[in-house]
Structure 1
Amino acid sequence: MNFLQSLTIKTRLAIGYAVLAFALVLVAIMGIRGQSLTQQNLEVQVNHLEVIKGLGNSVLDAANARAVSARNLVIASSKPDEVAEIKLIGTAHEAVGKGLKNLEEALKKAPPEAAEPLQKLLAQIKETEAAYGPIALEITRLASVGEKDTAIKKINAECRPLLTRLVGNLDAFLAETDKISQQAIERSMRQFESLRMQLIVLSVAVVLFAVVLGYLTTRSIIGPLGEAGAATQEFAQGNLARPLVARGNDEIASLVAAMEDMRQSLSGLVAGVREGSMSVSTASSEIAQGNQNLSTRTEQQASALQQTAASMEQLGSTVRQNADNAVNANKLAHSASTIAQQGGEVVAQVVETMKGINDSSRKINDIISVIDGIAFQTNILALNAAVEAARAGDQGRGFAVVAGEVRTLAQRSAQAAKEI
């Protein structure tokens, strides 16, 4: 398992396919080799042994035909029968010679393992035929010249033992041919059985190897994937405490390592978010407390502003009364001037008195101007006090300053009113 996990999935699959391909090639090679051996055995059986066996049978048939024709020639009662038998003997004798020559040529073409034992038997056949052939021809000559009794004696004394040995040699040759043929068939069967057993064993081994390799490969893939899937489900449920361990050097190990890096990053991110949330919670509490304090101070500043507004309204009423008095005084001054102009007969003292009244009128105008300036600045200060109250900074310190200015302006307004 560890060895498989040290390989990539691509390498594992490549090894599996390569082994299966090698097994298929090996099976194909063994099949081709078996077919070649079968073809060789079949070629030995059909192209050589069967041909040799056929030639051996033809030689045996020709030898038997020659012997039968020689016997018939001895017992023939007419000249035409003798001539016919003599012709048959010559044909059979030529067939024996030709058959032996063809056998020799065929054995030269046959495989050594089949030709060597048959060549020894063929040598015995040729040796026997070399002894038997001249005797058979001599018997034919004796019978053709009328010496049939001598021919019969020669048949019984010399020809029959050689013929028996020749036929025996041919039978041994044919039996050896059958034996070699049977051996070739048995060898072919053994090779076939051996090849079949090898193919069965190889096929079983390949199947077992494929099953084991498939099981190990599947296990090496499914196991880590299952662990990664379980860890992913825990991640989805919010559990980032379970570490992932990458085993091996394959693609799944790379995936698990990447997931572990992701888990660590997510853990750090969640920890940072948790710390940030705690900081936000603390800051929110502080902001809420500050808002409460600000609200209290704002209410205090609003109350003070209401009092200031009431004072300013009273001050404005006083200023309006002073302005009305100044207007009335101005009217009176104009009336007195008119009266002085119409009564040109007023004495100098009245003139002086009018001058004093005129000066007082100018002073009243100055006082009215001061009062107007005070009213304007008072409005400005009231606006500043409202702004300071909205900001509520440093517990209304700015508002205290504005209130002091308002008191100062109020005193100046009172003093101006006294002067009026």
Structure 2
Amino acid sequence: MDNIFDKYTITQQQLRSYMLILRQLKLGVRLACGFGLLILLMAVMLATSLIQMNRLNANAVDLGANWLPSIEVLGEIKSAANDLRRVSMRSVIEVDPQAKAEQARRHEKILRDQLPAILARYEPMIASPEEKAMFDGMRQKLQQLAQADGELLALSAAGDSKLLEARQMVFGPASQAFFALMKDIDSLVELNVRGGDSAIQASASTFKTATFATLAIFGLAVVIGLVMAIATTRSITVPLTEAVEIADSVAAGNLTHEIHPEGGDEPAALLKSLRAMTDSLSSVVSQVRGSSDSIATGSAEIAAGNSDLSHRTEQQASNLEETAASMEQLSGAVKANADHAMQANQLARQAAAAVEDGGKVIAQVVSTMQDIATSSKRISDIIGVIDGIAFQTNILALNAAVEAARAGEQGRGFAVVASEVRSLAGRSAEAAREIKSLITASVERVDNGTQLVDNAGHSMDNIVNQVQKVSTLIADISNLSAEQSSGIGQVGEAVTHLDQMTQQNAALVEESAAAAQSLKIQSEQLAEVVRHFKLEADSTSLRRAGAIPLALTN
């Protein structure tokens, strides 16, 4: 519950915001809105009351024109059904044929005239499909009762021969049809009683709703009226009270009162005018104080200027002598630094050129070593081919020796030749293997040399980069030396300016005279500002006429 109340609690800031919004309107508009809102709430209350009264009337009309008449008509139907039951039973009891005939005519009259008229009166008052179905069922039960009573009257008219059968009909089908009809009539009566109760409950609920709505709207109107009255009163009295306090404060000579007009109504306009008046007075007083301070400051500056004039001239003369000596020393040092920097720059350029030439030579060596490595690999491949040829020659010589052995004496000479060829092929293969191993070792050494030359090339590149950086640094030193030389020129100009300042010191006497003239002008301005205020003697006549003692004139 606390959270709910906290939710609808208006904070001081929100109340201030609402008051500020309200004060944006003129007083006439505010009052018109307040009274208009109250009239609107009264109209809403009247409309709500009329709507609820209309609902009460509708419920009363429904109760009086539908539910109660329906119950009354059902009572008439029930009475007519009882009449039918009595007529049929008396017809069985009667002995005289004329009496039986009279009962039959009464029975026919009830069925033909009385019941149709009663049913016709009830049918327009049916209010729901459920009631319609129950009414149709009751009518069907009524027809069944009429049919059973008709059979009963026919048996009764037949005489004593059918008396027993007629009595059985009375307590059998006729009785069942009668009680079934009574049950349907009672159900319809109960339905209408429930409808009447619902109408009564709806009327009670409507009355409660109307009462609550009327009281709620009335309470809301009272609350809004009180809020509007309090808000309107405070929006008028609070700024007027503040305006009175401000006026009293200004009359007492206190101009430090802060005024914050809020809104766009007439009291806010009054506060704005008071603020403008207070600001104007504050500005005038500030000008008076400022002029007084300026007079004091001007006088002090004149004295200080005349006192510092001689002292400053002596210091400037001493500073000029020291500066001249320092300039000569600095000029010589800067020239020497510039010459050394130029020489170092030339040497660095020569070293960079030499290193670049060395880098190019190493690059050529690297290229030559790579060519040697490529040629060595080709020689190794050729030696491999020679080794293969020697192997094939050895195989052919072996085959030739085999063939010579098969030839016997005739192939002996050929076998000797084949043996020599095999010996030569073996020696060739051995020589090829030795050459190949030497070439392989040479290739490895060439690769190592190439790697070393590559490393040397990278080292030369690094050396070139470092030499270029050194050359750049020396160039920067040379530029800085040039800038120092330019700075020396500027220092010379500064010395010239010092000389000019020495001459300007002589003009301080003229400035002192000008300051005295300015002091005179400021005194005149102070007198002019003071004349903005009227004295007590000047405002005596205005006080008699009810004017403000202290007035601001434009």
Indicate whether the TM-score tops 0.5: yes
User: Which of 164, 176, 185 in structure 1 is aligned with 2:179?
Assistant: 164
CA distance 1:99–1:10, shift in 2 (3 Å): same
Please state how far the C-alpha of 1:256 moved relative to its aligned partner: 2.7
> 1:257–1:149: structure 2 CA closer, same or farther, 3 Å change rule?
same
User: 2:239 pairs with 224, 232, 236, which one?
Assistant: 224
Whole-angstrom distance in 2 between the partners of 1:144 and 1:227? 112
Aligned to 2:443: none
Instruction: From the superposition, tell whether residues 274 and 2 of structure 1 become closer, same or farther in structure 2 (CA, over 3 Å).
Output: closer
Residue number among 133, 138, 142 corresponding to 1:129 in the alignment:
142
Counterparts in 2 of 1:167 and 1:231: CA distance versus 1, 3 Å: same
Measure how far apart 1:202 and its partner are: 2.4
Equivalences for residues 314-329 of structure 1 within 5 A: none
Partner of 2:20: 2
Partner of 2:531: 272
Q: Does 1:139 align with 2:164?
A: no
Shift of 1:137: 2.0
**Is 1:93 paired with 2:129?**
no
CA separation in 2, counterparts of 1:161 and 1:33? Answer: 50
Gaps of 5+ in 1: 108-113, 280-420
What aligned pairs does 1:169-180 form with structure 2 within 5 A after superposition?
Answer: 169-180=184-195
Amino acid at match of 1:272: R
SS in 1 for 2:531: helix
DSSP-derived class of the 1:37 partner: helix
Q: Which residue of 2 aligns with 1:208?
A: 223
Give the CA deviation at 1:49: 1.7
Question: Which is further off, 76-85 or 64-73?
Answer: 76-85
Counterpart selection for 1:12 from 23, 30, 34 = 30
Residue of structure 2 equivalent to 1:102: 121
User: Among the aligned pairs, what percent are the same residue?
Assistant: 18
Q: Kindly provide the CA deviation profile for residues 19-76 of structure 1, in whole angstroms up to 9, marking residues without a partner as x.
A: 2222112112211111221121112111122222222111111001110121122112
In the other structure, the counterpart of 1:54 is 72
- Is this contact kept in 1: 2:97–2:157, CA < 8 A? no
| Distance in 2 of aligned mates of 1:124 and 1:272 | 113
1:251 and 2:271 aligned: no
Distance of aligned partners of 1:72 and 1:223 in 2 relative to their CA distance in 1, 3 Å threshold: same
Match of 1:404 in 2: none
Aligned to 1:290: none
Do the aligned residues in 2 keep the contact of 1:247 with 1:253 (CA within 8 Å)? yes
Structure 1 residues 22 and 39, CA gap change in structure 2 (3 angstroms): same
Instruction: Output the CA distance in 2 between the equivalents of 1:277 and 1:122.
Output: 107
C-alpha contact (below 8 Å) 1:63/1:93 kept by paired residues: no
Contact 2:90–2:103 (Cα < 8 Å) also in 1: yes
* Offset of residue 160 of structure 1: 0.3
**Aligned pairs (5 A) from 1:175-190:** 175-190=190-205
Aligned-partner SS, 2:172: helix
Output the amino acid matched with 1:201: A
Larger mean Cα displacement after TM superposition, 119-128 or 84-93 = 84-93
Which of these residues, 60, 66, 81, is aligned with residue 42 of structure 1?
60
Two-structure CA RMSD over aligned residues (Å): 2.9
How many angstroms apart in 2 are the aligned matches of 1:214 and 1:203?
A: 16
Greater shift in the superposed pair: 225-234 or 66-75: 225-234
Deviation at 1:265, TM superposition (A): 7.2
Moved more, 92-101 or 264-273: 264-273
* Aligned match of 1:155: 170
CA distance in 1 between counterparts of 2:533 and 2:172 reads 131
Gaps spanning 5+ residues in structure 2: where? 1-18, 286-528, 539-554
Within 2, Cα distance between the matches of 1:193 and 1:207? 21
For 1:248 and 1:106, locate their aligned partners in 2 and report how far apart those are by CA, in whole Å. Answer: 66
TM-score, normalised to structure 2, is: 0.45
Q: CA 1:271 to 1:212, structure 2 compared with 1: closer, same or farther past 3 Å? A: farther
Q: Is the CA contact (8 Å cut-off) linking 1:240 and 1:263 kept in structure 2?
A: no
Distance in 2 of aligned mates of 1:128 and 1:46: 28
Distance 1:41 1:277, change over 3 A: closer
Distance 1:274 1:137, change over 3 A: same
| Distance across 2 between alignment mates of 1:32 and 1:246 | 47
- Distance across 2 between alignment mates of 1:277 and 1:10: 41
Residue 288 of structure 1 is matched in structure 2 by none
| Pairing 1:193–2:193 present | no
- 1:93/1:278 CA distance change after superposition, 3 Å: closer
Q: Which residue of 2 aligns with 1:386?
A: none
Contact map agreement 1:7 1:248 (CA 8 A) in 2: yes
Offset, 1:121: 0.9
Cα distance in 2 for residues equivalent to 1:119 and 1:171: 15
Q: Deviations over 1:89-146 (max 9, x none)?
A: 2233232233223322332xxxxxx332211110110121122211112212322342
1:262 deviation in Å? 5.5
Superposed, 1:259-298 pairs within 5 Å as 259-261=274-276, 272=531, 274=533
Q: 1:119 aligns with which of 132, 135, 150?
A: 132
Contact kept in structure 1, 2:148 and 2:177, CA below 8 Å = no
- Aligned residue for 1:6, secondary structure, equals coil
Q: Secondary structure at the match of 1:248?
A: coil
Across the two proteins, how many residue pairs are aligned to each other?
272
Partner Cα distance (1:8, 1:271) in 2: 40
Deviation at 1:149, TM superposition (A): 2.8
SS in 2 for 1:125: helix
